[in-house]
C-alpha cells in the first residue's frame, strides 16, 4: 500500500461476496496500517439496482463521512500524490475530477496491446473530448474507474443507487453533475491500470462492451464512431483522393495509415512521458492488430447489444437503461 499524500482521508473497501479471497488481503493491510481509517463492506443488495458495481459500492457510500468521494477500481495503482493532485483540480465550480485510463508497464503481448490502445486511440479521443468540455461545450467523457466527486451533489440526486438502472454509471454520474451546473475536469495523472492477468480476448470483450454502452447512451455514435478509426477513414479518404485528386488508391491508403501510426507513436510517448517499454516493431504489430479489429468489434456490438458482465447478462435499451436477462446467455 503506497503512502497517500493527503491530510485527511478514509478507505472504504467494497467487496461483492463474503467468501471473496480479497477480504483476507484487506484485513492484512488494515492490521499492517492501523493508523489508517479503513473499513470493508460485503454484499450491498439494494432495491431497483441492476448495476453490480453500484450494488457493491452502496454500503460504502452510505458510510462515507467526507465531502469528497473517490471511486477507485481495485485494479488500479495509485501513486503517493495522486489523491492530492485530483483534489487540486476540484475548484469551487467543479463537481467531478476523473483520470484518463492508462496502463502500468507489464510484460507480455496482451499488456502491450492494452497500453497501445489506451495510449493512442483512447487517449486521443479522451483528451479531445476533455478539451471540448473545458471550453464549455458540455461534453461528457468521464470514465468511472477513478473519479472524485462531491458527495452532496450525489446525495441531492438520491445517492448512487439512483443510477443503478444504468450499466455505465460513470457517464450518468458525470451527466447529472454537469446538468446541475458543475464542471468536469481531467486530472494531470492517469489512472494506472495494473491488473495482474492480461488476456487478448478479455481485452477485446471489454472494448466491445464499452462500444455497446456508447451506442445505447449516445445513438449518433452508431454513425460517427467508425469514421474516427484509422482503417475506415483511410478507405473513405483514399476513395475521395482517387476520385478528386486522381491519386493511386493503394498509395494514398498506405500513406494515410503510415502517417496515422507515426502520430499515434508520438501520442503514446507523450502519454507514457517517455519511450514505452517495448520496441517499435511490437508497437506496430499491436497497433495494426487493434486498428484492424476495431471495425469488427463495432459491427459485433451493433449486431448483438446484449452485455455479459460479471455473473449477469444485460440488455441495453436506448438511453443506456439496462435490463437483466437470462444469465445462461453468453456473449462477447
CATH of the domain at 20: 3.90.550
* 77 assigned to some structural domain: yes
User: What is the average pLDDT across 299-306?
Assistant: 90
Q: If you average pLDDT over every residue of the chain, what do you get?
A: 90
- Given this model, what pLDDT does residue 32 score? 94
* Residue 138: per-residue pLDDT: 80
Cell numbers for 7 = 491530510
Q: Measured between alpha carbons, how far is 119 from 105 in angstroms, rounded to an integer?
A: 12
pLDDT tens for each residue of 143-164: 889 999 999 999 999 999 999 9
Q: Is residue 275 part of a domain?
A: no
Specify the pLDDT at position 195. 84
Query: Could you give the residue numbers annotated as active site?
Result: 170
Any domain includes 188 = yes
CA dist., res. 183 & res. 305, Å (int):
31
Q: In angstroms, rounded to a whole number, what is the distance separating the alpha carbons of residues 212 and 331?
A: 12
Give a yes or no: residue 175 inside a domain. Answer: yes
Whether residue 6 is predicted with pLDDT greater than 70 in this model: the reply is no
Give the total number of structural domains in the chain.
1
Cβ atoms of residues 89 and 164 within 8 Å:
no
pLDDT value at position 332?
33
Helix (H, G, I), strand (E, B) or coil at 85: helix
pTM: 0.90
| pLDDT reported for residue 328 | 43
Give a yes or no: residue 294 inside a domain: no
By C-alpha distance, which of 199, 222, 229 is closest to 305? 222
| pLDDT for 250 beyond 50 | yes
Q: What is the helix (H) or strand (E) element at residue 202, kind and residue range?
A: helix 200-217
Per the structure, the complete domain to which residue 51 belongs is given by 11-221+301-325
pLDDT band at residue 329 under the 50/70/90 scheme: very low
Q: Is residue 16 part of a domain?
A: yes
Give tens-digit pLDDT for 88-140: 999 999 999 999 999 999 999 999 999 999 999 999 999 998 888 888 788 88
Residue 331 lies in a domain: no
User: CA–CA separation, 307 vs 244, rounded Å?
Assistant: 42
Output b/e per residue, 298-309; b: 16+ Cβ within 10 A. Answer: bebbeeebbbbe
pLDDT single digits (tens) 14-30: 998 888 888 999 999 99
Whether 268 maps to a domain, the answer reads: no
pLDDT in tens, 186-233: 999 999 999 878 899 999 999 999 999 999 888 888 888 899 999 999
Amino acid at each position: 500500500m503506497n503512502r497517500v499524500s493527503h491530510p485527511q482521508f478514509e478507505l472504504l473497501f467494497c467487496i461483492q461476496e463474503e467468501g471473496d479471497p480479497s477480504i483476507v488481503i484487506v484485513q492484512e493491510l488494515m492490521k499492517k496500517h492501523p493508523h489508517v481509517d479503513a473499513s470493508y463492506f460485503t454484499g450491498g443488495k439494494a432495491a431497483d439496482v441492476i448495476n453490480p458495481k453500484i450494488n457493491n459500492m452502496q454500503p460504502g457510500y452510505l458510510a462515507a463521512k467526507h465531502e469528497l468521494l473517490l471511486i477507485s477500481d481495485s485494479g488500479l495503482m495509485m501513486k503517493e500524490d495522486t489523491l492530492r493532485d485530483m483534489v487540486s483540480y476540484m475548484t469551487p465550480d467543479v463537481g467531478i475530477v476523473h483520470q484518463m485510463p492508462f496502463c502500468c508497464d507489464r510484460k507480455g503481448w496482451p499488456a502491450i496491446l492494452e497500453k497501445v490502445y489506451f495510449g493512442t486511440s483512447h487517449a486521443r479521443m479522451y483528451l479531445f473530448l476533455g478539451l471540448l468540455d473545458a471550453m464549455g461545450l458540455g461534453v461528457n467523457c468521464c470514465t468511472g474507474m477513478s473519479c472524485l466527486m462531491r458527495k452532496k451533489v450525489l446525495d441531492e440526486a438520491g445517492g448512487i443507487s439512483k443510477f443503478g438502472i444504468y450499466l455505465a454509471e460513470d457517464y450518468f454520474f458525470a451527466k447529472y453533475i454537469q446538468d446541475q451546473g458543475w464542471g468536469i475536469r481531467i486530472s494531470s495523472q492517469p489512472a494506472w491500470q495494473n491488473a495482474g492477468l492480461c488476456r487478448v480476448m478479455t481485452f477485446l470483450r471489454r472494448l466491445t462492451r464499452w462500444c455497446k454502452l456508447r451506442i445505447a447512451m449516445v445513438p449518433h455514435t452508431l454513425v460517427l464512431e467508425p469514421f474516427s478509426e484509422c482503417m475506415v477513414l483511410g478507405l473513405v479518404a483514399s476513395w475521395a483522393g482517387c476520385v478528386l485528386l486522381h491519386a493511386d488508391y493503394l498509395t494514398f491508403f498506405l500513406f494515410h495509415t503510415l502517417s496515422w501510426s507515426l502520430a499515434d507513436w508520438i501520442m503514446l510517448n507523450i502519454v507514457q512521458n517517455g519511450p514505452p517499454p517495448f520496441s517499435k516493431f511490437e508497437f506496430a504489430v499491436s497497433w495494426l492488430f487493434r486498428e484492424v479489429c476495431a471495425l469488427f468489434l463495432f459491427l459485433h456490438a451493433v449486431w448483438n447489444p446484449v452485455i455479459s458482465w460479471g455473473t449477469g447478462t444485460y440488455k441495453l435499451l436506448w438511453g443506456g437503461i439496462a435490463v437483466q436477462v437470462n444469465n445462461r446467455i453468453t456473449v462477447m
